[in-house]
Amino acid sequence: MRTASNEHAQNGHGLSAPPIELASSSLVWRRAIRALCALVAVSCWVAYMGGQTVPPAAQPQTVIVTGTFQPVPLEESDRSVNVYPLAHSSLLFGSLTDALSLDSSVQVQSRAPGGVQGDLSIRGGGPGQSLILIDGIRLSDAQSAHHDLDLPIPIDAVNHIEVLRGSGSTLYGSEAVAGVVNVVTDPNNEPEKLEMRLRAGYGNFSTNEESGFVAVRHDALSQRFSFERELSGGFRDDRDYRNLALASQSWVRTRLGLTRVFLSLLDRPFGADQFYGNFNSWERTKTWLAALSQDLGKNTRFSLGYRRHTDLYVLLRDNPAYYTNRHEDETWDAALRRHDFLRPSTKQQSVGVFYGAELLTDHVASNNLGVHSRKQAALYGSLDVRFWRRFSLTAGNRQEFYGDAGAIHSVWVPSVSGGFWLASRAKLRATVNRAFRLPNYTDLYYHDPANIGNPNLRPEHAMNYEGGLDVYPAEHWRGSVTVFSRHETDDIDYVRANSSAIWQALNFGRLTLTGVEASVEWAPSKEQKFDLQYTGLHGAEAALEGFQSKYVFNYPTQQAVFAWQAASSRGWIARVRAGVTDQYQRDAYFLLDAYAAWIRSPLHPYIRLTNLTNADYQPVYGVRMPGRAALVGVEWCVLCPHK
pLDDT of 389-421, one tens digit each?
899 999 999 999 998 767 889 999 999 999 999
Distance CA 309, CA 329 (A): 5
CA-based torsion, 441, 445, 447, 451: positive or negative: positive
The 10s digit of each residue's pLDDT in 343-365 is: 877 778 889 999 999 999 999 99
Structural domains in the chain, sorted by start:
3-639 (2.40.170.20)
pTM tops 0.85: yes
pLDDT for res 219: 86
pLDDT score, position 526: 84
Determine the average pLDDT of the residues in 597-623.
Answer: 93
| pLDDT single digits (tens) 90-130 | 999 999 999 999 999 999 998 998 878 889 999 999 889 99
**Average pLDDT taken over every residue of the chain:** 88
Residue 191 has pLDDT above 80, yes or no: no
Three-state DSSP state, 244: strand
Q: Give the angle 167-509-534 at the CA atoms, nearest 5°.
A: 40
Tens digit of each residue's pLDDT (9 = 90 or more) over 529-584: 999 999 999 987 665 667 777 788 788 999 999 999 999 988 999 999 999 999 88
Strands 447-448, 451-452: pairing kind: antiparallel
Q: How far apart are the first and last CA of the chain?
A: 62
Q: For 236-240, 425-429, 523-527, 556-560, which range has the lowest pLDDT when averaged over its residues?
A: 523-527
Among 363, 357, 362, CA closest to 380: 357
Inter-residue contact 252 to 220 (CB < 8 Å): yes
pLDDT attached to residue 199: 96
Mean pLDDT of 36-53: 52
Tell whether the model's pLDDT for residue 466 goes beyond 70.
yes
Q: Which of 180, 181, 170, 163 is nearest to 435 (CA)?
A: 170
Query: Is the pLDDT reported for residue 18 higher than 50?
Result: no
d(C-alpha 416, C-alpha 274), whole Å = 44
Q: What is the average per-residue pLDDT within 293-306?
A: 95
**DSSP string spanning 92-152?**
G-SSHHHHHTT-TTEEEE-SSGGGTT-EEEETT--TTSEEEEETTEE---SS-GGGTT---
Q: Among 295-304, 544-553, 613-622, 633-642, where is mean pLDDT lowest?
A: 544-553
pLDDT tens digits, one per residue of 49-78: 444 443 333 445 677 778 888 888 889 999
